[in-house]
Amino acid sequence: MKIVVGEILPLALVVTLSPLNVIPVILLLFTKRPLVHASCFLAGFVVGVAGVLGAAVALADAVDLSPGSGHSTWVGVLKLALGVYLVVAAVRKFRGRPRAGEEGSMPKWMDGIAEFGPGKSVGAGLALGAVNPKNVVVALAAAATIASAALSGGREIGAMAVYVFVAVLGVATPIVVTLFLGDRSHEVLDGWRTWLGRNNATVMSVLFLIFGVVLIGQGIGAS
């Protein structure tokens, strides 16, 4: 169990530290009903992240990736492929980063986020948690690690819960800051939003490179 958690935690950090996952909840905290909308986004995000991981683990369990099975080498191949994908994505992100003085570009759907109600906030969180390709990639790697460990049902669920908890901390943190600081949080959150927007590409390229190399190492070791 400890070994599995140690291997999936770095993958969960890719999700929780992703600026594109955090910026929307910060923007929602500047709307007319900030805590309601941001909490709805968080709820949708949790369901999205947990849903993708749960589906991936169920599929991996059905295939049987446990040690000694005929499919056990697939884990190493999958991690190797996902690691290469993240390294390539890191290079592309770094090359496409804004130059000095330029603002980083955000997805167009964020332009109308100030008008989101609870329903749209839940939907946005769900879509971002479940459909974002980077979240899906690391969920697949985490699922392969969990399924290949041949854990009992309870421990498998426990490992999944740890992954989801860590993966959503980045989205939850601005909400916690608002609860503790109230109106004083606006200046702090606006500073975070500006920094994350400007440095999104650089942050993600570093994360992808580090954890891509980690996955390649794990893939080689498991092959």
What pLDDT digit, counting tens, does each position of 61-94 carry? Answer: 777 666 555 555 777 777 788 888 888 888 887 8
Average pLDDT taken over every residue of the chain: 84
CA distance 77 to 170: 30
CA distance 153 to 128: 28
What percent of the chain is modeled with pLDDT above 70? Answer: 89
pLDDT at site 129: 92
pLDDT at site 211: 80
Instruction: Please give, one letter per residue, the 3-state secondary structure of the chain.
Output: CHHHHHHHHHHHHHHHCCHHHHHHHHHHCCCCCHHHHHHHHHHHHHHHHHHHHHHHHHHHHHHCCCCCCCCCHHHHHHHHHHHHHHHHHHHHHHHCCCCCCCCCCCCHHHHHHHHCCHHHHHHHHHHHHHHCHHHHHHHHHHHHHHHHCCCCHHHHHHHHHHHHHHHCHHHHHHHHHHHHHHHHHHHHHHHHHHHHHHHHHHHHHHHHHHHHHHHHHHHHHHC
First to last CA, the chain: 21
pLDDT at site 69: 55
Q: Which residue has the higher pLDDT, 125 or 197?
A: 125
* Domain, as residue range, for 84: 2-222
CA distance 77 to 218: 10
Can you tell me which residue has the tokens 């994350």?
196
Q: Which of 39-48, 105-114, 181-190 has the highest mean pLDDT?
A: 39-48
What pLDDT digit, counting tens, does each position of 2-25 carry? Answer: 677 888 888 898 899 888 889 999
pLDDT at site 100: 62
pTM: 0.85
CA distance 148 to 73: 10
| C-beta of residue 212 within 8 angstroms of C-beta of residue 138 | no
Residue 110 has pLDDT above 60, yes or no: yes
| C-beta of residue 77 within 8 angstroms of C-beta of residue 213 | no
Mean pLDDT for 162-175 is: 95
pLDDT at site 83: 84
How many structural domains compose the chain? 1
pLDDT at site 66: 61
pLDDT at site 161: 94
CA distance 182 to 175: 10
pLDDT at site 1: 63
Mean pLDDT for 131-152 is: 83
